[in-house]
Amino acid sequence: MIARSAVALLALGALVGLVPAGAAEADSVDGTTGSVAQAAAQTRAAQLAAAGVRGIALVEVVPFGPGSAERWRLDNGLQAIVAADDAAGVAAVHIWLKVGSADEGPTKTGLAHLLEHLMFKGTRTRPAGTYDRELEAYGASANAATWVDWTMYHQVVPPAAVPLVLQMEADRFVHLNLTLAGVKSELAVVQNERRETVDSDPDGLVAEHLGRLLHGTGPYGHPVIGWAADLAAHKRDDVMAFYRQRYVPGNAAVVVTGTVEPTAILTEVAKTFGAIAALPAAERPKPTTAAPLATEVRQSVTIEASAARLAVAWPTVPRDHPDAVALELLAEALCGAESSRLDRLLIDDRRLASGVSCQQDGTRLPGAFDIWVTLRPGRKSEEALAAVDAAMAALLGAQPPTAEELNLARVRSTTGLYRQLASADGRADVLGQTWAVCASLADHAAWWQRMAQLTPADVSAAAKRWLGRPGRAVVLANPAPPSVSRKPGARESRQVAAGTP
Amino acid sequence: MTTWRRLIASLGLAALVMAGPRPINAAPKPPRGAMPETLVVHRPWPPLVSVRVFIGGGSSLDPPGKEGQTLLGWTSVLRGTKDRSRQQWQAALDAIGAQVEVAVDKSGAMLVADAAADHVEALVRLLAEALQSPRFDPEEVAAQREELLADLQHLADDDGALCDDALGRYLYRGQAVGRPAQGSVASLQAIAPTELAAWHARQVTVSNLWVGFAGAIDAKRAHELVKAAFGGLPNRAAPRAVAVKGVTEGRRLLLVDKPRRGQTQMAVALTTVAASAREFTALLVANAVLGGPFTSRVSRDVRQLRGWAYHAETTLAPGMHTSTWVATLGSATADAVPALELVVKLWEELGRHGVTPAELQFAKNWLLGAHKLSQETAAAELAYQMRGRALGMEPADIAAIPARIAAVDLKTVQRTLKERLRPEHLVAVVTGPARQLRDKLADSLCQFTVETIAADGAPETTTGAGRAVTSKPLAVEATPTTAPGEEPEEPDVDDVDDGADLEPAP
């Protein structure tokens, strides 16, 4: 049961304009407060029962976007999240799975992502290419993504095509049919992707080094796309074993947003996914709050690039930790705009950098607070590190974040949320990701409510708790000196071989 | 890091909007009056307003030796006004949570901004202030120049972007549109702040400006804001971009050497009819068959069946004088030449045999469906409308595009392909290790004439500063895009080239 304060919701609505009139009075499903959205959901439950739709129960109703979002649970454990509105004229259908690269074992890195690719290779009744072909006939374009905590499949379609999408998604959820040739060709595609986005991309390489330094052999220590050697060794049986262990109803949510009729959607979800047997999911890595690094770990690498890069990361907290929102607001305040503190210092005043960014990871397990700097040609990453260290020392000492900085960061964050929620696909993203990483959909609103309430003292305290620690990871990436003559294919002695653990 | 199964295929939607029947090289229209044309796409939710300002006259107007002037000009416009320093202007923008991005291409510039609905008036005022009274402070121009020079160097780090950039210049070498919009080290350093001020005075006129609003704002309010903010613009004839000619020099290939890369990026292109030509719609459909959606011929044969690329697709980029049909793909170096040969073969087969009735119907369904889905958000619909308007299409022409696609028949497609697809004039750019690729490319079935340059020489090649490190059989020519001393033609807004690329980089 979810019960939250109506007052808190109204405050959130005032902040981000997410709560339409009449919809913010309550969101609990215990029947004690009632609301238009709640009443509609209860009516829907009765309609479903009257229509003979069994094995589906309402879990929560939350104000969301231009209306509300409902979360339902099928008896087999699968979740159905529906947020209907009249504005879009389209429907977004997402399948979210609580399966990511953090769930892979040693030597099996890249398996979750490879499986994501292979999910488009057909089923017993729909040969390879059929899935895309059926959707393209509507003008739709299906795609998917894999992250450390989740995998998601998404498409935007005309509302009339939603039943077809659900049928095809349920089909490949249990009836994936992989041929050896199909696995081989798609593995080659993924290897191409790795060469393109990591091995031939200086930023991709730096990210890979940083992740390994920061998380070691932990669940987040290897790249989502996998180490090159592991990728090359994956077999069809590995993929199918992972699929059977992880693609089970209890790990999955169907998210539908846009111009849809929720009762019809839920009926279709129950008919398609409801027929899938409940199976136990493989155990996931357990969340902890312990920071894994006690001291700084630093790596210098040579990159084939025009300019140096610096990446610094402090181990911090998971998304559901009370400090997470403070750290995210701090990241926005430090690097979110041209007039923000680190941008001014590194780009304008010191003219060291051409770009700087900060972020607090929104992960299920403890993540990190990162600062990334792309230097101007000719400048060294060590110069940027010295400047960042000085700025962070000031932040933690005499120059804590100000109320004005945080207010501006809040305004920018809110505008960013509007951008995301403007499309049905963006709204499905928010709902799916919230479900995959947090306990309930209500956590999304709670997050923004918390952000509205944060004081400079709150943010300063969180910064001191997590960014004042000695344990951190630093990657100093500098281009090879132009005067050095190299044979084609030669590797710098200090460069860690790309794509190997 | 989020890794995608594959890159989203180009839907050719930018192309759709260019397919209007408006004649090219039309006589200059008289100034429309005291107010810039204003487009509004209203959606009540979310409480966000996107504002777009298009200014005609792009990088093809940059004088020889001053390439990058348009880009330096528009980015410098955002670095302080007569009343506010850059810091003050930027702080005012940040205070309302707004973002402004600038995109410049050969035909114009687009400023794209958004803010919460409560702040739209302040946003429009700030944009108007920057556009109408830029300071062009020498120190700020120097700082902006430094940033652009850094961007130029960063370009060499992104093989895909480097490949695309080199293609634009290599394909249209010798023409004004082949000049690099981002300039070169030498050309950027040659541009003085006073020249920017003079350029700005020519470009910013009522008839050369369109303002668009999308989101939680109604038309009445939008027009009021434009009237208040842009009412003081000068009212005189607008500049005119230079024409683009089709490329018919036979097959040629530029190999940009990246000695230690294991992945090779490739772009193959040909020029074809103007977007306003009757046959363009048929080519749009043919492009959808060749390399539009994931199940198209190129994606299926290169990626799905062989695993030779993470991305492999084709795009028909429209132009007012000539359109560019491009295939792009990235392959392991060992697979690069066979993959390139396969794409060329698929193109040749399309020209020889055309499309099947089933492919035609499928492509039309896909284009029409994708068009409808792409108009979901107000910002997307506005972007679509503004691209069309910036190219001189009337609203009725834009609205007629779906009907025109629906009406294309098989006979028209086959005839158009026979007449307008010229694979004998394919032009390619390949970025990868020259040592491994050069001989294979020269000997390939594609029969390209291969020219090789170093990656760091590529951005300057077509402006005369390129460094040809190897050549087989031809050295890269340092090809000035305009004869020495030649001035661009007097610009006219009705003669701008395509604006299909006018989206700020993400």
DSSP letter for B264, please: E
pLDDT of residue A53: 96
Interface of B with A in 83-102 (CB under 8 A): 87, 90-91, 94-99
The string of pLDDT tens digits covering residues B224-280 is: 999 999 988 888 876 766 778 889 889 999 999 999 899 999 999 999 998 878 899
Q: pLDDT category, B24, cuts 50, 70, 90?
A: very low
Contact across the interface for B96 and A411, Cβ inside 8 Å: yes
* Nearest Cα residue in chain A from B216: A422
- The pLDDT of B363-376, averaged and rounded, is 96
How far is B309 from chain A, CA to nearest CA, in Å? 6
pLDDT of residue A155: 95
The string of pLDDT tens digits covering residues B385-429 is: 988 877 767 888 888 889 999 999 999 999 999 999 999 999 999
Return left, alpha or beta for B128; rule: phi > 0 is left, psi -120 to 50 is alpha, else beta: alpha
How far is B282 from chain A, CA to nearest CA, in Å? 18
Where exactly are the structural domains of chain A?
A: 65-275, 297-479
pLDDT of residue B290: 98
Write phi, then psi, for B364 (nearest 5 degrees). Answer: -65, -45
Contact across the interface for B259 and A140, Cβ inside 8 Å: no
Residue A89 has pLDDT above 60, yes or no: yes
Residue B461 has pLDDT above 60, yes or no: no
pLDDT of residue A438: 93
Query: Which is more confident, B485 or B432?
Result: B432
The string of pLDDT tens digits covering residues B105-143 is: 888 899 999 999 999 999 999 999 999 999 999 999 999
Cα distances from A39 to residues A20, A31, A299, B79, in angstroms, run 16, 9, 57, 53
**Residue B168 to residue B163: CA distance in whole angstroms:** 9
Interface of A with B in 238-297 (CB under 8 A): none
Nearest to B472 by CA among B457, B453, B454, B450: B450
Helices and strands counted in chain B (H then E): 18, 13
pLDDT of residue B373: 96
**Residue A192 to residue B330: CA distance in whole angstroms:** 8
DSSP string, A144-156: EEE-SS-EEEEEE
| Residue for token pair 């209007």 | B20
Residue B459 has pLDDT above 90, yes or no: no
Dig out the tokens for B288 from the structure.
């959808």
Contacts 24+ apart (CB under 8 A), A451-455: A451/A15, A451/A325, A451/A328, A451/A329, A451/A410, A451/A413, A452/A11, A452/A12, A452/A15, A452/A410, A454/A325, A454/A326, A454/A329, A454/A406, A455/A403
- What count of Cα atoms within 13 Å lies in the side-chain half-sphere of residue A323? 21
Residue A22 has pLDDT above 50, yes or no: no
pLDDT of residue A485: 39
DSSP string, A70-117: EEEEETTS-EEEEEE-SS-SSEEEEEEES--GGGPPTT-TTHHHHHHH
List CB contacts (< 8 A) between B369 and chain A: 137-140, 158
List CB contacts (< 8 A) between B370 and chain A: 139-141
DSSP SS3 for B501 = coil
pLDDT of residue A19: 36
pLDDT of residue B12: 31
Residue B72 has pLDDT above 60, yes or no: yes
Contact across the interface for B362 and A136, Cβ inside 8 Å: yes
DSSP β-bridge partners for residue A368? A315
Count other Cβ atoms within 10 Å, centred on residue A460.
Answer: 18
**Residue A462 to residue A330: CA distance in whole angstroms:** 9
Contact across the interface for A374 and B154, Cβ inside 8 Å: yes
* Nearest Cα residue in chain A from B299: A129
* Nearest Cα residue in chain A from B120: A415
**Residue A66 to residue A85: CA distance in whole angstroms:** 7
Domain A65-275 in this protein, CATH class: alpha beta
List CB contacts (< 8 A) between B452 and chain A: none
Mutate to test the interface with B, among A178, A195, A373 (most CBs of B within 10 A): A195
The string of pLDDT tens digits covering residues B73-94 is: 999 999 999 999 999 999 999 9
Whether omega for the bond prior to residue B46 falls within 30 degrees of 0, making it cis, is yes
Residue A234 has pLDDT above 60, yes or no: yes
Q: pLDDT category, B34, cuts 50, 70, 90?
A: confident
| Average pLDDT value for chain B | 83
Q: How far apart are the first and last CA of chain B?
A: 16
- The pLDDT of A198-221, averaged and rounded, is 94
Q: pLDDT category, A30, cuts 50, 70, 90?
A: very low
Least confident of A27-41, A69-83, A277-291: A27-41
DSSP letter for B183, please: -
The string of pLDDT tens digits covering residues A46-70 is: 999 999 999 999 999 999 988 999 9
Contact with chain B for residue A185, Cβ under 8 A:
yes
How far is B324 from chain A, CA to nearest CA, in Å? 23
Return left, alpha or beta for A319; rule: phi > 0 is left, psi -120 to 50 is alpha, else beta: alpha
Question: Are A351 and A302 spatial neighbours (Cβ–Cβ below 8 Å)?
Answer: no
* Percent over 70 (pLDDT), chain A: 88
Contact across the interface for B373 and A140, Cβ inside 8 Å: yes
Is A65-275's fold the same as A297-479's? yes
Domains, chain B, ranges and CATH?
30-237 (3.30.830.10), 252-471 (3.30.830.10)
ipTM for the complex shown: 0.87
Give per-residue burial for A369-391: e unless 16+ CB within 10 Å, then b. Answer: bbbbbbbbbebebebbbebbeeb
Amino acid at B63: P
Dig out the tokens for B93 from the structure.
């923008």
pLDDT of residue A157: 97
**Residue A255 to residue A95: CA distance in whole angstroms:** 6
**Residue A18 to residue A24: CA distance in whole angstroms:** 9
- The pLDDT of B308-322, averaged and rounded, is 91
**Residue A162 to residue A170: CA distance in whole angstroms:** 12
Contact across the interface for A90 and B309, Cβ inside 8 Å: no
DSSP SS3 for B42 = strand
- The pLDDT of A313-339, averaged and rounded, is 95
Amino acid at A412: R
pLDDT of residue B457: 55
Least confident of A207-211, A420-424, B150-154, B303-307: B150-154
- The pLDDT of A236-246, averaged and rounded, is 96
Question: Are B39 and B58 spatial neighbours (Cβ–Cβ below 8 Å)?
Answer: no
**Residue A255 to residue A429: CA distance in whole angstroms:** 9
Q: How far apart are the first and last CA of chain A?
A: 44
The string of pLDDT tens digits covering residues A354-408 is: 999 999 999 999 999 999 999 999 999 999 999 999 999 999 999 999 999 999 9
Whether omega for the bond prior to residue B473 falls within 30 degrees of 0, making it cis, is yes
| Of the options 3.60.70.12, 3.30.830.10, 3.30.70.3270, 3.20.20.370, the CATH number for the domain spanning A297-479 | 3.30.830.10
List CB contacts (< 8 A) between A188 and chain B: 306-308, 332
List CB contacts (< 8 A) between A145 and chain B: 2-5
Contact with chain B for residue A87, Cβ under 8 A:
yes
The string of pLDDT tens digits covering residues B437-448 is: 999 999 998 899
- The pLDDT of B285-304, averaged and rounded, is 97
pLDDT of residue A291: 57
Contact with chain B for residue A367, Cβ under 8 A:
no
Contact with chain B for residue A120, Cβ under 8 A:
yes
Dig out the tokens for A151 from the structure.
């995998």
**Residue B459 to residue B165: CA distance in whole angstroms:** 8
Contact across the interface for A146 and B98, Cβ inside 8 Å: no
List CB contacts (< 8 A) between A160 and chain B: none
Q: Which of B45, B369, B379 sits opposite A87 (nearest CB)?
A: B45
Where are the strands (E) in B125-249, listed by range? 209-215
Cα distances from A373 to residues A142, A301, A343, A412, in angstroms, run 34, 15, 10, 21
pLDDT of residue B244: 84
Contact with chain B for residue A189, Cβ under 8 A:
yes
Nearest to B239 by CA among B11, B498, B494: B494
Q: pLDDT category, A454, cuts 50, 70, 90?
A: very high
How far is A267 from chain B, CA to nearest CA, in Å? 25
Least confident of A167-171, A443-447, B316-320, B325-329: B316-320
